[in-house]
Structure 1
Amino acid sequence: MKFNDIVKLLVAFAASFLAAAIGSIFTFTSIATWYAALNKPFFTPPNWLFGPAWTILYILMAVALFLIWRLPESKARNQAMALFAGQLITNVLWSVGFFGLHNILLGVALILVLLALIVLTTYEFYKLSKPAAYAMVPYILWVCFATCLNVAVFFLNL
């Protein structure tokens, strides 16, 4: 692997885990208090599952970004990377809206935008690198589940 690729891989991991760290700042402070007091659906996973699940997803996102970034520069590659950045920012904003602001409806709105951006990103990745797109599939599935959970929490706490 070339030095330039190593730098890209490290930056991809740094970007993904910076988003994770920022989101967790807003999440951890609310888990034992505000979130614990909410009515939640029967299919809510135990809290301990979220950390490992998101860690795996952030690793896969970083790998997907790296696989795209190491491709020759092109308009399609740059657009795909911009979509990736947009979904990563929206991912953080969801944590801020839902956990930080304790706004479940804002969480629903943001997670719907997030899901759309992830699907678009994955579609653009697929056109450039099938392995990069496949690395995003668990993220899509988890955010589909999280969307159902977020919507259920909204309705159970009206």
Structure 2
Amino acid sequence: MNKALTYIVFIAVSLGGGLLIGTNNLPGEWYQSLAKPVFNPPNWIFGPVWSILYVLIGIAGARTWLRGHLSAAMLIWAGQMVFNFLWSPFFFGAQMPKAALVVIVILLGLVLAFIANRWSSDRISATLFLPYAAWVGFATILNASIAYLN
């Protein structure tokens, strides 16, 4: 597979998977009824933020794939995608904020592990994950707050 196609596939998997998971696990009335912390952002912000993040995640994934298909970094990248895609079904689909908190803590750990793994050998991929780490860190605090308040 050539480089351009690799980038297209990874971005499509990240963005398309996120869109599919998101549209099948909408917040709905249950989420609206929950007590939320004062720092809870407006609902409209999540779509644009995640769209940008999924593009960055896809680019980092493609760069990692091009450097070694079965590398530890690629396994970490794949693992974080699994936990990323699991969070919405647990939180919104199953309406289980505490279980979703476990998922997002693991996700955050994998995101940070990817950054650490790539920092020396592919600083660009590591840097592409920094906004993702910041957002998932914030989302972890938000998830924990919602679990605590409810």
Name the TM-score class by shorter chain: over 0.9
Give, as a single letter, the amino acid of the residue that structure 2 aligns with 1:123. Answer: A
More helix by share: 1
- How large is the RMSD of aligned CA atoms in angstroms? 1.5
Please state if 1:156 is matched with 2:113.
Answer: no
Map 1:82-101 to 2 at 5 A.
Answer: 82-101=75-94
How many angstroms does 1:74 deviate by?
7.2
How many residues were matched structurally? 150
Change (3 A) 1:74 1:44: closer
Amino-acid identity (%):
35
Equivalent residue number for residue 21 of structure 2: 23
Q: Distance between the aligned counterparts of 1:74 and 1:53, measured in 2?
A: 28
Instruction: Report the secondary structure of 1:70's partner residue.
Output: helix
1:7-38 alpha-carbon deviations (Å, 9 max, x no partner) = 2111111220232023203432xx23111110
TM-score, length of structure 2 as denominator length: 0.94
Equivalent residue number for residue 134 of structure 1: 127
TM-score, length of structure 1 as denominator length: 0.89
Unaligned runs of 5+ in 1: none
Indicate conservation of the 8 Å contact 1:8/1:66, yes or no: yes
Map 1:65-84 to 2 at 5 A.
Answer: 65-71=61-67, 73=68, 78-84=71-77
Q: Distance between the aligned counterparts of 2:114 and 2:85, measured in 1?
A: 16
How many angstroms does 1:121 deviate by?
1.2
